[in-house]
Amino acid sequence: MLRSGRYEADPVKGLYFDQDWVSMPATMPVASGGIHAGQMHQLLHHLGEDVVLQFGGGTIGHPMGIAAGAEANRVAVEAMIKARNEGADYLARGPEILRAAAKRNRPLETALSTWGDITFDYASTDTPDVAATPTPA
């Protein structure tokens, strides 16, 4: 919500009033905590490419070591950017794209086999508790 200069109220999204950020600089999204190379398609879809991805355990906890963890993350992001640039629906085809890249990169293959089942596919518990109320015109 802080990437643009102005937002209109939209209670369903949790924006309860108009917000004009005037000249305040935009902020940068940061993903941290429980992220790994196998989620790259979801991370880039939800947060964009202008983002800080803090792969703690997804790098340090890699079974082949820290350097292999960093390599797996780099190869995953490059595979997603390449797929996007080629016109692929990288969100829908993300797992397939990552598996193809992993055939050519052992650290990514190891990361996917270690953490591949951990995704962002869950029902949100953060649902708006607002109801539209008609107002006089």
Query: Tens of pLDDT along 80-134?
Result: 999 999 999 999 999 999 999 999 999 999 999 999 877 766 676 766 677 767 7
Residue 56, in any domain of the structure? yes
For 100, the token pair is 């193809």
Closest CA to 35 of 57, 64, 51, 9: 57
> Mind listing the pLDDT tens digit for each residue in 22-71?
777 778 888 888 899 999 999 999 888 888 999 988 899 999 999 999 99
- 77 CB neighbour count, 10 Å cutoff: 17
For residue 61, the model assigns a pLDDT of: 92
In a domain, 128, yes or no: no
Whether residue 136 is contained in a domain is answered as no
Q: What is the pTM of this model?
A: 0.75
Residue 13 lies in a domain: no
In a domain, residue 22? The reply is: no
Residue 122 lies in a domain: no
Range of the domain at 94: 30-115
Say how far residue 39 (Cα) sits from the centre of its chain: 7
Question: Which position has the token pair 């629906």?
Answer: 89
What is the tally of structural domains in the chain?
Answer: 1
Q: Does 123 reside within a domain? A: no
Give the residue with greater pLDDT, 10 vs 87: 87
The pLDDT value given to residue 81: 95
Q: Is residue 8 part of a domain?
A: no
